[in-house]
Structure 1
Amino acid sequence: MADPTFGRYSEIPLDSMTPEQRTGYDSIIKDRGICPGPYKIWVESPALMKLMIPMGVYYRSGSGLSEAEREIAVLVLLGKWGAAFPLSEHEWIAEGTSGYSKAGIPAEQVERVISGLPVSFEDNRQQVVYEIASTLVNSRYVPKGLYDRALKELGTNAISDLAVIMGYFTMVAFTLMFHDVPSFAEGLKR
């Protein structure tokens, strides 16, 4: 077994990839310009890459949630799991300091969300996203009042987007946690 390159995971060098793995790798490079986080691991499975790349594209450009709303849900979820690598990435994405996002959530709010501390958002949609995400990650029943506010503020499609993005980032978190990928890990230079 090769030495680990990304946490405990041993990435596949480009010249050792199968043609199908290389196609998946090239697809994520075309989409993102890099092979980020979990994709470094998922590239081993061409079938998984075919599913995950379009989902990532959808959440970055086509969902019914704003960048800030997505990041609030992602931070609630990742904070719950304590997944070091994606938490460090999404902390600065949420604050809008990454150059990757314009979410622009104030650092104090980001810190409170990650820590699981109560926080309030002036924007009603952001507040509802925070409350729904917090309720779901804590295995709590969604009370009728929160359900009604969510429908009013977000609508059914955005609520579905919220639930699915939380599932997607659970996969991200578990993949990276299993391989013990630390904050700011870089992996193979390609």
Structure 2
Amino acid sequence: MTETNDPSDFGTFGRFVETPVDKMPTDMKDAYNYTVSLRGLVPGPHKIWLCNPTLAKTVVPVGAYYQTTSTLTKAEIEIATNIINGRWLAAYSNYEHEKIGERAGHLPAEKVEALIANRPTSFDDPRQSVVYELASALTQPRVVPVGLFRRAQHAIGDAGIVDLTMLLGWFTGVSLTLSAFDVPSNALGLDQ
């Protein structure tokens, strides 16, 4: 297979060609407005999800939930997010969440780097430690041992375990979307 550097292989956001807001069909514009109402903007993969407005309206609330309501702290969310982004090698989400993880003191830079690079690290906070261990086990071809499961139940509860597993699934979708459309770490997209 011969690779080419055909400019038509690329759009405004990786391979994705965004539709300017003023040219969006009604259903796409509704999904765009819905995303803005929940997120305040249309970030990263949300730009791509707009091409499937019904799906966008379904998945956007999940991401918004993690911004506002999750039982997990911002640091715990970023531990899991950086582990799963690192697992799927999506340049854009790795770059964005490396910055987010370090911002506002959520996590030290060396911890974020270890999470993305799948290097061992540790956390003094028991909740952060169990989130790290459980997310690491779930993103590898491993079974979650009973002892780890019990520690997770004790530290973050069943609701926290559900939050963590669904976050890993949601960010798997984020990462795979960004990878499919070959979105580079420095992508800006249209200024909507």
TM-score of the aligned structures, taking structure 1 as reference length: 0.93
2:77 is matched with 70
- Quick check: 1:14 aligned with 2:21? yes
Distance in structure 2 (CA, Å) of the matches to 1:93 and 1:48:
26
Distance in structure 1 (CA, Å) of the matches to 2:48 and 2:180:
11
2:116 is matched with 114
1:156 is matched with 158
Q: Report if aligned partners of 1:67, 1:103 keep a CA contact under 8 Å in 2.
A: no
Once the 2 structures are TM-superposed, how far is the Cα of residue 103 of structure 1 from its aligned partner?
A: 5.3
Identity across matched positions, percent:
45
Distance in structure 1 (CA, Å) of the matches to 2:183 and 2:19:
16
User: What amino acid maps onto 1:18 in structure 2?
Assistant: P
Once the 2 structures are TM-superposed, how far is the Cα of residue 120 of structure 1 from its aligned partner?
A: 0.5
1:174 is matched with 176
Q: Report if aligned partners of 1:77, 1:137 keep a CA contact under 8 Å in 2.
A: yes
Distance in structure 1 (CA, Å) of the matches to 2:46 and 2:161:
26
Q: Report if aligned partners of 1:89, 1:184 keep a CA contact under 8 Å in 2.
A: no
What is the CA deviation profile of residues 34-90 of structure 1, one whole-angstrom value per residue up to 9, with x for unaligned ones?
210001000111111111121111111111100000100010111111110001000
- Unpaired runs of 5+ in structure 1? 97-101
Stretches (4+) displaced over 3 A? none
RMSD between aligned residues: 1.4
What is the CA deviation profile of residues 20-43 of structure 1, one whole-angstrom value per residue up to 9, with x for unaligned ones?
110111122233332100010001
Q: Which of 55, 59, 64 pairs up with 2:62? A: 55
2:46 is matched with 39
Distance in structure 1 (CA, Å) of the matches to 2:9 and 2:128:
44
Report matched runs for 1:86-125 at 5 Å. Answer: 86-96=93-103, 102=104, 104-125=106-127
Q: How many residues align?
A: 185
- Unpaired runs of 5+ in structure 2? 1-7
2:32 is matched with 25
